[in-house]
Structure 1
């Protein structure tokens, strides 16, 4: 499992990081048009949602390779952090891994970076939300089992007051380690929205894998700039809840460089940022209803009627509608019930035995058994053997003798009569 996680993440970063050599290595100048390049801010209603809220009072936990300390875009954004890989720094701000080391910074910059000025530098979807930097290691970047890192990081994030947790990775497996049952349920029980990337078809992921298959998470699929399901930077599966941009995204690297990259690893934090906007605008709303607002206000995809659809989920993200629209409340997580899944498939609990619905019927007691007879010698006849054995046998024998004697006498008379003639 750990090896597959590492292979997927390396393929994601190496395969989709660079769109052109010029954009990948370029350092954004002070008047960089990065803000204008963030097409999702307008196309998905984020700037409109900012008229209501910019995410103040909320906290987004980014469980990834760590958020770099240097970039100005993160100044004042990261409130706390921790390392769970065993190879990072205590505050979770030292990037972990080789090719993946900037991944956590790119993800965080899409969710809640501050920009470098009022209209300059990259800005996140929820620029007034706080970030938690939880560093984990993919593949060979850590000796600690990957499942353990994620489970421990989830618990720590919840205990630190996260309102939203972002997980921009996949295992490429439908199933997950049982330790994640407890960790994810712990998040749900503490009213945390968990947002997960669906994975990228371009790296060989043909269907969603855990954690996107865990009931209750908001799984994010990716679309291109035209709103069409991305052929390379997304995958498909019935667990997808919402679609968001996954191509031509910007990301702030740990060293401050701005790069262009693709993948649902970037679509997920855009949705996580919107979840923070919803929670900021509606502080009394629980996690189930935050998720419900996001999927129920999604824009329809032309020609797609199924909801959820395996490519688009409930449709395209609409931040403005998610923040301001009137949406009926729900009492359950529309993305599923992990506790019920565990009860059925892990067999952690057994259904209670059915209770009788009628009173028992009283039956009369059976008559007492006959007292045992005294034991006798097997060589002496009993009453039963005399009555049913000896007497009938003697009678039959006597009858046979009498018949034989009668026949003999008759034969003699016949012979005597013949002789006298």
Structure 2
């Protein structure tokens, strides 16, 4: 086995552990009937504390599609009525519309979807008309029962994947993820929510083309940082991909969560990740925790921004979210909070300077430098998945990476020359010292130096000459 083959297998092994990031369910999972759902709505503390209810004064996410790449979304959940605008299965093991709950955590996608774009449902007493703008603090009868998402007027695309266990459909995560991203882009997603992660910071080269494609099509990708409780001490792919808005998790006190978050330099912003609630397939609700739940909070805010400013670029959306975040932890950007704690109200109302660059980097630049212009694509990534939904963006084409510049190509040579010169200097100095020691030893007699000036001459003969 070659070193390169071994590395690929190690990377593949790590990515086969790709799992839905931190969908840790509490013991209190229940399929509570609709009559008791208002108690669940009242638990959505993040809507007020993260500034989301104030942000609703500006936008609720109308006319924006958000793709949820997850374990499938149950569109029959009462809080998701009318929310799904399409879907697909890329695993080969789910339903064509992506609404079958599959994988090791089949409930995961519905939990994410309800937090992102839930609309609640008609109260059991029918004394009030449901209004997605009414938050949990509005009081009984003032809004819908059930869960109201961060972007309650956005539409969702469900892209189901089989992760966390052996896929009966036969496709690995290395095939599913790029195919899911490309399908989402081609079917009109302006934001993509990826609440999954791996134990490896590296990603297979087969992913490059899909994430570059999303960047070129101006799509915001939001991904979970992963959880220490799930074994992710450091952020893993795809949250390490440049340009992706990576979300860390906060505990109920607003500090970095010990269990429901990880750390890394790619983190962009932090959001609540403990004491969360979400909808379950079949109409129930559950308490849960993890950056899987923090991610749709941030993705929902991205949808609010894209709804308010449809012409704003993905880079500007990301910049608006991170630049208005409340600094926490070490001053400035840090590996626990990124740029800070999410402030949805500021993200929708503050004056933010325009930028042409994504503060979290660019996959295009990364490919150009690190892949040396060699962009590999897998057939699964390049092929379009059949769908009943008409593409709303131009037909997919396999992007080509820019060739490396002459300066980029000179970097490895300069590094080699630099280290080579340093090595020669060290070697020369060592030889000089050895020869000097030998001369001193030969000049030394029983009662002292035979020639008291020998050492002086040696120090003057710095070139090591005899």
Q: TM-score range by the shorter chain?
A: 0.7 to 0.9
* Offset at residue 235 of structure 1 (A): 0.3
| Alpha-carbon displacement from aligned partner over 1:179-208 (angstroms, at most 9, x marks no partner) | 211100100111100000000001111100
Show the counterpart of 1:309: 334
Show the counterpart of 1:41: 47
Show the counterpart of 1:203: 230
Q: State whether residues 8 and 203 of structure 1, in contact with CA within 8 Å, keep that contact through their aligned partners in structure 2.
A: no
* Offset at residue 28 of structure 1 (A): 4.8
Q: Take 1:263 and 1:45, find their aligned partners in 2: how far apart are those partners?
A: 20
Q: State whether residues 95 and 254 of structure 1, in contact with CA within 8 Å, keep that contact through their aligned partners in structure 2.
A: yes
Q: State whether residues 20 and 292 of structure 2, in contact with CA within 8 Å, keep that contact through their aligned partners in structure 1.
A: no
1:66 aligns with 2:91: no
Give the TM-score normalised by structure 1: 0.79
1:238 aligns with 2:265: yes
Partner of residue 17 from structure 1, selected from 17, 25, 33: 25
Q: Take 1:68 and 1:5, find their aligned partners in 2: how far apart are those partners?
A: 26
* Offset at residue 9 of structure 1 (A): 2.8
* Offset at residue 51 of structure 1 (A): 1.0
Partner of residue 87 from structure 1, selected from 83, 93, 100: 93
Q: Take 1:344 and 1:40, find their aligned partners in 2: how far apart are those partners?
A: 40
| Alpha-carbon displacement from aligned partner over 1:136-177 (angstroms, at most 9, x marks no partner) | 111313410211111011111001110100111112111101
Give the TM-score normalised by structure 2: 0.72
Q: Take 1:50 and 1:10, find their aligned partners in 2: how far apart are those partners?
A: 29
Show the counterpart of 1:259: 286
* Offset at residue 306 of structure 1 (A): 3.2
| Alpha-carbon displacement from aligned partner over 1:322-351 (angstroms, at most 9, x marks no partner) | 011100000111100111111111111232
Partner of residue 226 from structure 1, selected from 244, 253, 260: 253
SS of 1:33's equivalent in the other structure is helix
Q: Take 1:175 and 1:89, find their aligned partners in 2: how far apart are those partners?
A: 30
Q: Take 1:102 and 1:206, find their aligned partners in 2: how far apart are those partners?
A: 24
Q: For the structure 1 residues 352 and 6, does the alpha-carbon distance in structure 2 shift closer, same or farther, using more than 3 Å as the test?
A: closer
Q: Count the aligned residue pairs.
A: 346
Q: State whether residues 28 and 34 of structure 1, in contact with CA within 8 Å, keep that contact through their aligned partners in structure 2.
A: no
Show the counterpart of 2:185: 158
For structure 2, which runs of at least 5 residues remain unmatched after alignment? Answer: 1-10, 123-129, 131-142, 374-402, 409-466
Show the counterpart of 2:162: 137
* Offset at residue 7 of structure 1 (A): 4.3
1:96 aligns with 2:97: no
Q: State whether residues 117 and 150 of structure 2, in contact with CA within 8 Å, keep that contact through their aligned partners in structure 1.
A: yes
SS of 1:30's equivalent in the other structure is helix
Q: Take 2:21 and 2:356, find their aligned partners in 1: how far apart are those partners?
A: 39
Q: Take 2:343 and 2:404, find their aligned partners in 1: how far apart are those partners?
A: 42
1:350 aligns with 2:436: no
Show the counterpart of 1:30: 35
Q: Take 1:305 and 1:229, find their aligned partners in 2: how far apart are those partners?
A: 12
Q: For the structure 1 residues 256 and 212, does the alpha-carbon distance in structure 2 shift closer, same or farther, using more than 3 Å as the test?
A: same
Pairing 1:252-291 to 2, within 5 Å after superposition:
252-291=279-318
Q: State whether residues 215 and 338 of structure 1, in contact with CA within 8 Å, keep that contact through their aligned partners in structure 2.
A: yes
Pairing 1:331-410 to 2, within 5 Å after superposition:
331-348=356-373, 349-352=403-406
Structure 1 outlier segments of 4+, above 3 Å: 1-8, 10-13
Q: State whether residues 59 and 129 of structure 1, in contact with CA within 8 Å, keep that contact through their aligned partners in structure 2.
A: yes
Show the counterpart of 2:3: none
* Offset at residue 116 of structure 1 (A): 1.3
Q: State whether residues 28 and 258 of structure 1, in contact with CA within 8 Å, keep that contact through their aligned partners in structure 2.
A: no
Show the counterpart of 1:112: 117
1:57 aligns with 2:90: no
| Alpha-carbon displacement from aligned partner over 1:217-249 (angstroms, at most 9, x marks no partner) | 000000011111000000000100000000011
Q: State whether residues 21 and 224 of structure 2, in contact with CA within 8 Å, keep that contact through their aligned partners in structure 1.
A: no
Partner of residue 195 from structure 2, selected from 155, 168, 171: 168
* Offset at residue 279 of structure 1 (A): 0.8
